[in-house]
Chains A and B, each alone.
Chain A
Amino acid sequence: AQSVTQLDSHVSVSEGTPVLLRCNYSSSYSPSLFWYVQHPNKGLQLLLKYTSAATLVKGINGFEAEFKKSETSFHLTKPSAHMSDAAEYFCVVKDNAGNMLTFGGGTRLMVKP
């Protein structure tokens, strides 16, 4: 069985400051891990993915995440928040035995001017 825990349901940062969205996972297999973003009234968009290659993964829009197996974590970071980053972010784990995705509860990122 696999599960994903996003440690913060809401994160608020000021524009231009760093962003940290935390994610811990558990999986019986070597997992693939993803971060998706969902803007209001928009579909889910893939930010980045980890599939057992480099542990530091760079995604779109300046986001990156580091896979730490010892900590079972896959935290999402960005050096400088932009107003357009305000959205809901989901950490997702995929069982490599199949296509099933398990979603975390989501973190709502708010960016203050």
Chain B
Amino acid sequence: GAVVSQHPSWVICKSGTSVKIECRSLDFQATTMFWYRQFPKQSLMLMATSNEGSKATYEQGVEKDKFLINHASLTLSTLTVTSAHPEDSSFYICSAPFQGGRFRSDTQYFGPGTRLTVL
């Protein structure tokens, strides 16, 4: 089946630094990937849609300059949290759509998530 990986799985950084999170589709190509954040005991909230070869589309209320997204290739999207602050601490999850496998038609496959802790 389709596999989506994220790196790193856990990162701790000081306030004011920037953190880059990678999302890779390991055995399929994805022209579109999605970034979510999940606060403890809450549901996932869509942050942005990453588009290969063009600008990302951000959801309302998400700061474009703070959460930089680059979809460099058909298998890699990166999310950079710039000048991170403690309130940015969260669980960041990416997903990519894939057709095929057990569920055949277009299905979103999720990465395992990246836990960001900003001190």
Which A residues fall within an 8 A CB radius of B? 34, 36, 42-46, 49, 51, 90, 94, 99-106
Which B residues fall within an 8 A CB radius of A? 4, 32, 34, 42-46, 49, 93, 95, 97, 103, 105-113
A51-B105, A103-B44, A106-B43 in contact; A44/B32 too (CB < 8 A)? no
Q: What are the nearest 3 A-B pairs in CB distance? A: A43-B112, A44-B110, A103-B43
A36-B110, A42-B112, A43-B113 in contact; A104/B105 too (CB < 8 A)? no
Measured between C-beta atoms, what is the minimum distance from B42 to chain A in Å?
7
Query: A11 CA to B112 CA in the complex, in Å?
Result: 24
Query: A91 CA to B95 CA in the complex, in Å?
Result: 16
Contact yes or no, A99 B32, CB < 8 A: yes
With CB as the reference atom, state the residue of chain A lying closest to B96: A99
What number of residue pairs across chains A and B have CB atoms under 8 A from each other? 46
The secondary-structure label for the interface of chain B is strand
Measured between C-beta atoms, what is the minimum distance from B66 to chain A in Å?
21
Known contacts A43-B110, A43-B113, then 7 further A-B pairs from the complex at CB < 8 Å, ordered by chain A residue: A43-B93, A99-B97, A99-B106, A99-B108, A100-B46, A101-B95, A105-B42
List residues of chain B with CB within 8 A of the CB of A104.
43
List residues of chain B with CB within 8 A of the CB of A42.
112
A100-B46, A106-B43 in contact; A49/B34 too (CB < 8 A)? no
Query: A106 CA to B107 CA in the complex, in Å?
Result: 19
List residues of chain A with CB within 8 A of the CB of B34.
99, 101
Contact yes or no, A46 B107, CB < 8 A: yes
Query: A105 CA to B42 CA in the complex, in Å?
Result: 6
Contact yes or no, A90 B112, CB < 8 A: no
Contact yes or no, B109 A46, CB < 8 A: yes
Query: A43 CA to B34 CA in the complex, in Å?
Result: 14
Measured between C-beta atoms, what is the minimum distance from A61 to chain B in Å?
13
